Chains A and B, each alone.
Chain A
Amino acid sequence: MSAVAAKPQAGGAINPGAMAVGIVLLIILLGIAYVVSPGIGLMALIGVIIGGVLIGFGVHFVPVGGAPAAMGQAPGIATGVAMLAAGAGLAGLFGGAWAAEQGLEMAVVTGAIGGGMMMAITCMMVNFVYVFGMGIPAASGKVAKDPITGDTQAEYKSQGTEGHGLPFVSFVGGVIGGILGGAGGTLIYIELLELYKTTLPGVMKVTSAQAEPIAVSVAGIFAIALFLVNAVLTAYNITGTIEGPHDPKFKRWPRAIVASAVASALCGLVAILIVVM
């Protein structure tokens, strides 16, 4: 999408010093949560961090080719990685929020399936358009054989391109990405919703029925904000495009886990301080 030509030189290397500092930072943030609210606040923060890490990890699976994919020059889905993941994750959040009354596990699983369904339908339609609309079979540019089906890829790659469409491994990656994103987004929402439902009536000095719409809205917008922060950070990690779990860039995931954990802990702590301070 960006017309700026030069790509950053960021390599796949992991910076161990910075990773260690990140983990220390994470522990400090958890410590602050423990000091201000050892019970409900800390539990909510842990939930938020797990949710954020699920989102960050999940985005790595989503096969996104960016602008070249729209010309059949590169495999993947032709849109931005952060926003496609957001589309899937928010569709999951929608389902998860609906099932919120039925308990945490149920809501998170429902959210995960919602995100997975969105990606399954979208990825199927992408291949549908490639095959029946444009007459182009799917081919990966990064691997010689599809790791799941064992199909050879190189000879199905048309001349002068890096591949096109979604090979089966990318499809599976997309669904896994949607599932993780939907679960992560829903987990953040549910944890914050429970926290706000319990504490907001006391903070605002109103009845719980009056506070409920506020709790739903604030938890919802926090879940979306955290989702976008984590998705964009992960998009930075993979420099915008990835083919799926078989892409060499996928090996950068440990960095994104630490980054997502720190970012979620930070934002989650602020979200919790609103009601417990």
Chain B
Amino acid sequence: MVDIVFGIGITALTGALATIAGAAEDTESNIGSQGDPNSQVQLAPQMGFMHRIFNKAVAGEPPAYGLWCALGAGLAWAFMAMYPNPVLAIVLGSVLAVIVQGVYATTAYLGRTASLAKFGQPVYVDILKSMTTVTMAHAFIAIFGTVALCQLINGALEHPFPLPLLGLIWGVTLGAAGSATGNPYYGKERQYQNQKFGAGVPISASGNIVRYAEAGERNSLDNGWFTAKIGGAASGLCFGLIVFLELWRTILFEKSFDGWGAVIVGILVILIFTIIDRYIEVWARKNYGPYSEIKEASS
């Protein structure tokens, strides 16, 4: 068992790294239109709405980030096996993983767009050049943060799993948290800025995404700029809380209550979040009110 003070320090550091990684992950996926909002970017040309949005569907975010982080961790592990210098190894591993991510992003954009030739959607080479590099930069922050926190968990907190396995686990969790929290904000609020605020997008409006910006035509950098403000921050908070609370309850309470302390604290945390969620739900119902007074039969 590691010293409590040391453990708390590492926990705080991993929480901070996770928060940054989560925010970068969501911004990256929004610039690339990865995850579920991708379906609308894909649908728009079929409805006659040509656009200049980057469309890199590598996979769902969880498996894709599982790969980038596991790969970064695996490469870092291999470098550390040769030369024991964790900082250099993690940076180099993350850089190589980011190159793989960038190549996957370009092939995804080219493939998806070329398959839409029937509807006249052109391939924009300038999008490929300017957006891929920006997603790679964000992905580097996300991967580096995740691999670094895995190394801290493995090296400093003595978790039994080797680094690549931890990379896989936290990569998938990062993608799951980031896509769950960030996707609706990009999918509804940014892609469908032309629809009513405070309501879901009617199914009839599908495909009619916003394609023009304040000046000129919208590109995906505008989307990253917009979603970073709430979607990105919320995703970062989500992943940061997951990592921090998971480590915090184990480090601090593992020994108390005959070993059941971590479990009891975990249950309390779940209850607290349940209460917060219920409060948010009721708050919304009270303050926003119903859309219609007529009670219709549910479909």
Q: Are A and B in direct contact (Cβ within 8 Å)?
A: yes
Binding site for B on A (CB under 8 A): 1, 3, 66-73, 77-80, 83-84, 86-88, 90-91, 93-95, 97-100, 102, 106, 109-110, 113-114, 116-118, 120-138, 140-144, 149, 151-168, 171-172, 175, 213, 216-217, 220-221, 224
Q: Which of B68-105 contact A (CB under 8 A)?
A: none
Q: How far is the CB of A135 from chain B (nearest CB, A)?
A: 4
Beta-carbon contact of B192 and A71 below 8 Å: yes
- B-side contacts of A120, CB under 8 Å: 269-270, 273-274, 277
Contact A121 B245, CB 8 Å, known A80-B62, A133-B185? yes
| Stretch of B4-12, B124-132, B213-221, B282-290 that contacts chain A | B282-290
Highest count of chain B CB atoms <10 Å: which of A109, A114, A140, A153: A114
Choose among B42, B203, B291 the residue with the greatest number of A CB atoms under 10 Å from its CB. B291
Least CB distance from B239 to A in Å reads 9
User: Is the Cβ of A79 less than 8 Å from the Cβ of B60?
Assistant: yes
Is A155's CB under 8 angstroms from B292's CB?
yes
| Residue among B60, B186, B241, B259 making CB contact with A102, cutoff 8 Å | B259
Distance in Å: Cβ of B146 to nearest Cβ of chain A: 13
The residue from B38, B266, B290, B293 contacting A1, defined by CB atoms under 8 A apart: B38
Q: Min CB distance, B282 to chain A, in Å?
A: 8
Q: Does A70 lie within 8 Å of B270, measured CB to CB?
A: no
Closest 8 CB pairs of A and B: A160-B202, A87-B176, A72-B200, A70-B187, A113-B266, A158-B199, A135-B198, A83-B62
> How far apart are the CA atoms of A125 and B231 in the complex, in Å?
10
Neighbour of A134 across the interface among B188, B270, B283, B293, CB < 8 A: B188
Given pairs A70-B39, A70-B40, A121-B238, 12 additional interface contacts (CB within 8 A) = A78-B179, A86-B172, A87-B177, A90-B173, A110-B263, A121-B242, A128-B234, A134-B188, A136-B198, A136-B200, A154-B297, A163-B200
Of A70, A116, A121, the contact of B184 (CB 8 Å cutoff): A70
Contacts of A110 in B (CB 8 A): 250, 262-263, 266
Query: What residues of A have a CB within 8 angstroms of the CB of B256 in the complex?
Result: none
**Complex CA–CA separation, A80 to B270 (angstroms):** 23
A contacts with B: majority SS: helix
Q: Are B291 and A70 in contact (CB under 8 A)?
A: no
Q: Are A72 and B188 in contact (CB under 8 A)?
A: yes
Count: A-B pairs, CB below 8 Å: 306
A114 & B266 in contact (Cβ 8 Å cutoff):
yes
Interchain CB contact under 8 A, B277 and A123: yes
Task: Determine the chain A residues whose CB is within 8 A of the CB of B283 once the complex forms.
Answer: 131
Q: Could you list 17 A-B pairs, sorted by A, with CB under 8 Å?
A: A3-B42, A70-B37, A72-B187, A79-B183, A84-B62, A99-B250, A99-B254, A117-B245, A118-B173, A120-B273, A126-B184, A128-B234, A136-B288, A151-B285, A159-B202, A160-B201, A171-B274
A155 x B295 contact (CB < 8 A): yes
**C-alpha gap A165/B172 in the complex (Å):** 22
A91 interface neighbour in B39, B246, B269, Cβ under 8 Å: B246
Q: Is the CB of B280 within 8 A of A124?
A: yes
Cβ contact within 8 Å between A168 and B278? yes
- Mask, B28-64, CB within 8 Å of A = 1, is 0000000111111011000000000000010011110
Q: Check A122/B266 contact, CB under 8 A, given A158-B291, A160-B202, A221-B165.
A: no
Query: Considering only CB atoms, which chain B residue lies closest to A164 in the complex?
Result: B200
Q: Is the CB of B206 within 8 A of A71?
A: yes
Which residues of A have CB within 8 Å of B266? 110, 113-114, 116-117
Select from chain A the residue with minimum beta-carbon distance to B170.
Answer: A94
In the assembly, what is the distance between CA of A157 and CA of B90, in Å?
A: 47
**Complex CA distance for A208 and B29, rounded to whole angstroms:** 44
B291 → A minimal CB distance (Å) = 5
Please indicate the chain A residues that have their CB under 8 angstroms from the CB of B172 in the complex: 83, 86-87, 90
Residues of B within 8 A of A167 (CB): 281
The reply to whether B204 and A160 contact each other, CB–CB distance below 8 Å, is yes
Candidate in A1, A141, A172, A217 with the most chain B CB atoms within 10 angstroms: A1
